[in-house]
Amino acid sequence: MGDESRSDGAEVTGFLNQTLTMVGEERRYVLYKPWEYDPSKSWPFIMFLHGAGERGSDGLKPSDVGIGRAIRHYASRFPALVAMPQCPAESWWDQSLGVVDAVMEAVLGAYPIDEDRMYLTGLSMGGYGTWWYGAKHPGKFAALLPICGGGQPEDAEELAQTPIWAVHGEDDSVVSPSESRRMVEAVREAGGTVKYTELTDTGHDSWDPAYSDPDIIEWLFEQRRGR
């Protein structure tokens, strides 16, 4: 982990560069810690999965697109610890979900997290990752927020255990909105609670309006596991 102490004893906050060792290899990621962070209380936690363009090993790119950008503009809306792991180059989230496991284990082991208020979100490739990881861990998260991604309809029964708000652009030519539509339909048929927003005139970039929408973010933080 990075150095998070100061000589005056105050907490270091903001976007923190972090490292962990996974199978003998160093992995870098970013952790956002809100300025009002107080270690004496439990905090909500968001796991953010980036898109294909942010893959690599620098650990920094994932914080510059999507939720990181929204936090920089609207920090008060995100009173949570937010982890931004990085998928290796030439890989996809379904092949690298162990990275997500490792980052989650590191954060849960180091910070007072309210495990009933853990959320999973991602965009594009990370939207697919949100559907995939959420299905592999049914009931672990209080809510899922997949943006312009897709998944496997056969995972609907597992996904139906968690509230979901999916977002996609109707004119997305990179990932067809049909990818979100079929997942929403499958989870609803399995008895799940799903909200779906299809945006106009966004192209593939439906994540900026989604993460800057106060109603979506307010809904996310309202969710509690087991409620």
Residue 226: the pLDDT is 77
Mean pLDDT of 73-77: 96
Lowest mean pLDDT among 13-27, 39-53, 77-91, 166-180: 13-27
Neighbouring C-beta atoms of residue 3, cutoff 10 Å? 8
Q: What b/e string do you get for 172-195 counting C-beta neighbours within 10 Å, with b at 16 or more?
A: beebebebbebbbebbeebebebe
Using pLDDT thresholds of 50, 70 and 90, give the confidence band for residue 187: very high
Handedness of CA 195, 200, 203, 209 (dihedral sign): negative
Per-residue confidence at 10, pLDDT binned at 50, 70, 90?
Answer: low
Q: What is the pTM of this model?
A: 0.94
Mean confidence (pLDDT) of the chain: 94
Predicted pLDDT at 4: 56
Please state, in angstroms and rounded to a whole number, the distance separating the CA atoms of residues 197 and 45: 23
100-120 tens-digit pLDDT: 999 999 999 999 999 999 999
Q: Does domain 14-222 have CATH number 3.40.50.1820?
A: yes
Residue 211 Cα distances to 143, 187, 205, angstroms: 15, 23, 11
Give the rounded percent of residues in the chain with a pLDDT score beyond 70. Answer: 95
pLDDT of residue 7: 41
pLDDT higher than threshold 70 for residue 30: yes
Residue 9 has pLDDT above 60, yes or no: no
DSSP string, the chain: ----B-TT-PBP-EEEEEEEEETTEEEEEEEEE-TT--TTS-EEEEEEE--GGG-SSSS-GGGSSTHHHHHHH-GGG--SEEEE--PPTT--GGG-HHHHHHHHHHHHHHS-EEEEEEEEEEETHHHHHHHHHHHHSTTTSSEEEEES----GGGHHHHTTS-EEEEEETT-SSS-THHHHHHHHHHHHTT--EEEEEESS-TT--HHHHHT-HHHHHHHHH--TT-
Assess whether pLDDT exceeds 60 at residue 5: no
Q: Give dist(CA 159, CA 153) in Å, integer.
A: 9
pLDDT of residue 173 exceeding 80, the answer is: yes
The whole-angstrom separation of Cα 1 and Cα 23 is: 16
Percent of the chain with pLDDT over 90: 89
Structure tokens at 10: 């105050």
112-144 pLDDT, tens digit each: 999 999 999 999 999 999 999 999 999 999 999
CA distance 77 to 212: 9
Residue 205 region by backbone torsions, left for phi larger than 0, else alpha for psi between -120 and 50, else beta: beta
pLDDT-derived band at 3 (thresholds 50, 70, 90) equals very low
